[in-house]
Amino acid sequence: MAAFFQQVVSGLASGSIYGALALSIVLIHRATGVINFAQGEMATFSTYIAWTLVTHHGFSYWPAFVVALVVSFLGGVGIHEAVIRPVERGPRIRVVIVTIGLLLVLNGLVTWIWSGEVRAVQSPFPARTIDVGGVAISWQDIGTIAVCLLSVLVLGAFFRCTKTGLAMRAAATNPAEARLVGVRVSRMLAVGWGLAAALGAVAGMLTAPSVFLSPNMMLTVLIYAFAAAVLGGIDSPVGAVVGGLLLGVGLNLLGTYVDFVGSDLGLPAALLVILVVLLVRPAGLFGKPRVRKV
Amino acid sequence: MALIAALAFSVTAAVAGTVRSGTEPGVAVDSIVLGGTAPLTGAASRYAAVARGAWAYFQYANNRGGVYGRKIHYRYVDDGDNPAITVTATRQLIQQDKVFAIFNSPGTATNLAVRGELNGGKVPQLFVASGATTWGRDYGQYPYTSGFQPTYQAEGWVYGKYLARTASGSRVAVLFENDDYGKDLLGGLKRGLERSRVKVIAAEAYEVTSTDVASQIAKLRASGADTLVLFATPTFAIQAYQAANRIGWKPKHVVTNAAAAASASMQAASFGGRNRLVNGTISIQFLRDPTDLRSRKDPATGLYRRIMKQYAPGANADDPLYVYGMAAAWTAVEALKKAGKDLTRASLVAALDTFTAMGNPFLLPGIVVKTAGKDHDPIEQMLLRRWQNGSWKAFGGLWAYPAS
């Protein structure tokens, strides 16, 4: 039984990583209406910035964390201004294609600047584990889940209770009318990119202590994160985190107890989740189905 | 810095490429042109050091007269570790740059992709930088191809023999990469454990596309094993240490394959000593370790440092992959010398058919590069080493993999 729960716990740990990145995918989708394929590479880039500050410039963890968040926010805004804004008017597919290009560029850039070597990243949480009935739970995992849930609360409050948050939602759902009521749509979209980049930085820094920092750290995590976001409902922050946790636990148990799945079929299983959710419940577990009034 | 070096060398190589002798491609009165592919970009780009190290050694050898007055021009081009690009890049090296031989290209899949064509065209595929078993085993079918480093099977065998001798009664759990690389190591380990009281009781595979290996490690622990063997690439080996430590697993012995065990990876895994599991890890070694404190005063290490300083300034000389490249380049010079003044592709292959080179300053003392008869695995000797308090320490005598 301990072995079963150990798999559940390690699934929650991987799931919290998927959830953290899924959260930033959901944020950018809510704030700008597009799916950002470069989200994972942006997170990796931010994590490298934090790592450089700690390793080469004598920063301690939290100041480096804050600096990385600020730099990422500015970077996100910069990316929006430089490459997204010129293609924003017109079919959404153009933006999506540009984000795929961004993925490639950022991945190459990271390898070029920091080389492909694997780096250890300090964790903000204690390295100890708690033992519950023979099942070891690490503080790192508990911390990751806690930070994810905290981000959900903060995001929820931001989108519901602040003027900027409401304006961002308006700009994403109906840019034309938002403009009419005085929302500066373009600026809102830029802020959305900035926030998503900052949240991605959080995801990267939570992920790196577990999977270690390398240029491809987020490449497959991104696919699981998409599955998590779709499972939870692409518009729902709570859904992203819950979807991530469900996916992490589900894949671990499948791999352990269903022989032919093993570890080989993890990615196909994630794809299957995406497919089934889109067919059976397109709005996901927590999303609101879109009703179109005619 | 590295980029500048790469640009500079491609200019010299291009000039050299135009000077050709009438008979053998890539051989002129005063030059030999070697070609190769390497992942200069992409995820595997750290292996570019294998090519850069070799390039640096050739510069050094050229300044000391080259081979029978011929300077070696080694032109390596990017393949991003993508076999499809290896094929076109290799073709270009042969058809346009008229290289004499393909030398020292890293990767198993990349080299397999061009092996048929190179052998068909009778172009030597010299010292493939991969430990796959096939290079030496299939010499009969592909005589123009030669491996270099100990095979993954030989490496696994040494771990098996070591555990059989020193850890009788142990129950072994193995994490391995689900491809030829991981499976060759695992196969070798099992062969080394044959007829011993040590059993492999659990083996879990991971895919290169996996995000982490925590689930596999939890399963291996649940098997009740007391020995953990990691046959993985650096990222996953480091993750495995982390995962095992997190669930509080304290296996008595830990073995990590050499490719994952560069000092930098071990330091990353040990987290400044906070992960005790890393201490005492066993691995093999056949190259001189530039980070070994005891070899600081040794003349061979001094030579290595001098060459690095002069021909690869700015590169991380602690990276053993540069040593690897120099070891291969040193051996290539010996092979070219043995092939004679009237150098041809056929004379090089004939020279390698029965070949012995002793005293390679970049290999551990006593290791002989040797092929003869049916045995075409050039390096089959290695030392065991133990990770202790932040560095590797070799122990015991040389282990030699028996010719099969």
Q: Tell whether B281 and B178 lie within a shared domain.
A: yes
Which chain A residues contact residue B269 at CB under 8 A? 120
Q: Would you say residue B11 has pLDDT above 60?
A: no
How many C-beta neighbours within 10 Å does residue B12 have? Answer: 13
Task: Say whether both B51 and B117 belong to one domain.
Answer: yes
pLDDT category, A168, cuts 50, 70, 90? confident
> Can you give the pLDDT at residue B1?
41
Report the C-alpha gap between B226 and B252 in whole angstroms.
6
Determine the 3-state secondary structure of B169 from DSSP. coil
B389: alpha, beta or left? (left if phi > 0; alpha if psi -120 to 50): left
Least confident piece of the model among A177-191, B69-83, B307-321? A177-191
- Same domain for B194 and B228, yes or no, is yes
**Chain B: nearest CA to A217, how far in angstroms?**
8
Of B207, B218, B271, the CB nearest to A6: B218
| Closest chain A CA to residue B3 | A112
Q: What is the pLDDT of residue B270?
A: 86
Q: Which amino acid is at A125?
A: F
Residue A180 distance to chain B (closest CA, Å)? 46
User: A220 in contact with B at a CB cutoff of 8 Å?
Assistant: yes
Give the per-residue pLDDT at A254.
86
Whether the Cβ atoms of residue B324 and residue B51 lie closer than 8 Å to each other: no
Asked if pLDDT for residue B2 goes beyond 50, the answer is no
Q: How far apart are CA B74 and CA A77, in angstroms?
A: 45
Q: Are residues B240 and B388 in the same domain?
A: yes
Q: pLDDT tens across B236-280, in order?
A: 999 999 899 888 899 999 999 988 888 888 888 888 777 888 999
Q: Over pLDDT 70: what percentage of chain A?
A: 97
A47 touches A213 (CB < 8 A): yes
Do B272 and B343 belong together in one domain? no
Q: Give the model's pLDDT for residue A112.
A: 85
B31: phi then psi, degrees, rounded to nearest 5: -155, 155
pLDDT score of B70: 96
Cβ neighbours of B237 in A, within 8 Å: none
Task: Tell me: ipTM over 0.85.
Answer: no
Instruction: Please answer yes or no on whether A256 and B43 come within 8 Å at the CB atom.
Output: no
For the stretch A113-129, pLDDT in tens is 887 778 888 888 887 78
The verdict on residue B235 lying in a domain is yes
Domain containing B163 equals 152-285+383-400
CB neighbour class for B143 (10 Å; exposed up to 12, middle 13-18, buried from 19): middle
A89 CA to centre of own chain: 25
Q: Which of A118, A140, A267 sits opposite B238 (nearest CB)?
A: A118
Inside any domain, residue B178:
yes
With respect to residue B83, please indicate whether it lies within any of the assigned structural domains. yes
Tell me if B51 sits within 8 A of B38, measured CB to CB: yes
Say whether residue A275 is in contact with chain B using an 8 A CB cutoff: no
The reported pLDDT for the residue numbered B292 is: 74
Query: Do residues B135 and B216 share a domain?
Result: no
Q: How many CB atoms lie under 10 A from the CB of residue B352?
A: 22
Minimal Cα distance from A11: which residue of B?
A: B215
The pLDDT tens digits for A276-294 are 888 888 888 887 776 666 6
- In the numeric block, which tokens belong to residue B107? 């990767």
- In angstroms, the CA A83 to CA B210 distance is 31
| Residue B323 belongs to some domain of the structure | yes
Please judge whether B242 and A11 are an interchain contact, meaning their C-beta atoms are less than 8 angstroms apart.
Answer: no
Question: What DSSP element (H or E) covers B355?
Answer: strand B355-357
Which of the pair, B21 or A275, is modelled with greater confidence?
A: A275
Chain A CB contacts of B246 below 8 Å:
129, 136, 138, 140
> What are the C-alpha distances in Å from B374 to residues B136, B191, B367, B378?
9, 20, 19, 12
Residue B14 clears pLDDT 70, i.e. is over it: no
Cβ within 8 Å of residue B374, ≥6 positions away: B139, B403
Q: What is the pLDDT of residues A61-111, one digit of tens each?
A: 899 999 999 999 999 999 999 998 888 887 888 889 999 999 999 998 998
Task: Report yes or no: B384 and B284 within 8 Å, Cβ to Cβ.
Answer: yes
d(CA B320, CA B285): 10
In B, residues 13-52, which contact A (CB 8 Å cutoff)? 41-46
Q: Is residue B271 less than 8 Å (CB to CB) from chain A?
A: yes
Mean pLDDT of chain B, nearest integer:
89
Q: How confident is the model at residue B378 (pLDDT cuts 50, 70, 90)?
A: very high
Q: Are residues B19 and B123 in the same domain?
A: yes
Neighbours of A134 (CB within 10 A): 12
| Separation of alpha carbons B333 and B121, rounded Å | 23
Residue B8 has pLDDT above 70, yes or no: no
Confidence of residue B18 (pLDDT cuts 50, 70, 90): very low
- Tell me the average pLDDT across A11-23: 90
Mean pLDDT along residues A167-195: 87
Q: Is residue B321 in some structural domain? A: yes
- Do residues B165 and B179 both lie within one domain? yes
Q: pLDDT, tens digit, for every residue of B277-323? A: 899 999 999 999 887 766 667 888 889 999 999 999 989 898 889 99
Whether residues B108 and B187 fall in one domain = no
Structure tokens at B334: 């010996």
Flag whether pLDDT at B21 surpasses 60: no
Query: Do B197 and B73 fall into the same domain?
Result: no
B384 touches B162 (CB < 8 A): yes
In a domain, B56, yes or no: yes
CATH code at B329? Answer: 3.40.50.2300
Minimal Cα distance from A224: which residue of B? Answer: B211
What does the pLDDT look like over B24-63, one tens digit per residue?
899 999 999 999 999 988 778 888 999 999 999 999 999 9
Tokens of residue B106, six digits: 């890293």
Number of A to B CB contacts under 8 A, please give it. 107
Q: Quote the pLDDT of residue B15.
A: 42
Q: How many C-beta atoms surround the C-beta of residue A130 within 10 A?
A: 10
Q: Is B378 part of any domain?
A: no
Instruction: Give B20's pLDDT tier (boundaries 50, 70, 90).
Output: very low
Query: B274 phi and psi, to 5 degrees?
Result: -75, -25
pLDDT of B7 over the 70 cut: no
What per-residue string of b and e applies to A253-281 under the rule 16 or more CB within 10 Å gives b? bbbbeeeebbbbbbbebbeebbeebeeee
Per-residue pLDDT, A286: 81
Position of tokens 């270009």? B92
How many helices (H) and strands (E) chain B has is answered by 13, 13
Residue B254: inside a domain, yes or no? Answer: yes
Domain count, chain B: 2
CA contacts within 13 A on the Cβ side of A239: 22
Closest Cα to residue A119, out of A56, A200, A76, A202? A56
pLDDT of residue B343: 94
CB distance from B265 to chain A under 8 Å? yes
Range scoring the smallest mean pLDDT among A259-268, B7-16, B206-215: B7-16
A211 in contact with B, Cβ within 8 Å: yes
A174: exposed, middle or buried (Cβ count in 10 Å: 0-12, 13-18, 19+): middle
Q: Please give the helix or strand (H or E) that residue B239 lies within, else none.
A: helix B234-246
Same domain as B356, residue B304: yes
Q: Would you state the pLDDT for residue B340?
A: 92
Q: CB-based burial of residue B300 (10 Å sphere; 0-12 exposed, 13-18 middle, 19+ buried)?
A: middle
For the cut 90, the answer to whether the pLDDT of residue B118 exceeds it is yes
Asked if B213 contacts B243 with a C-beta cutoff of 8 angstroms, the reply is yes
What pLDDT is stored for residue A183 in this prediction? 86
Burial of B152 (0-12, 13-18, 19+ CB in 10 A): buried
Q: What is the mean pLDDT of residues B86-115?
A: 95
Longest dimension (CA), chain B: 68
Give how far Cα B148 sits from Cα of B88, B286, B332, B379, Å. Answer: 24, 11, 10, 6
Are B300 and B249 within one domain?
no
Going by DSSP bridges, is the β-strand pair B282-285/B227-231 parallel, antiparallel, or unpaired?
unpaired
Using only the alpha carbons of chain A, give its radius of gyration: 19
Strand, coil or helix: B341: coil
Q: Which residues of A177-195 are buried (b: 16+ CB within 10 A; e: fewer)?
A: ebeeeebebeebbbbbbbb
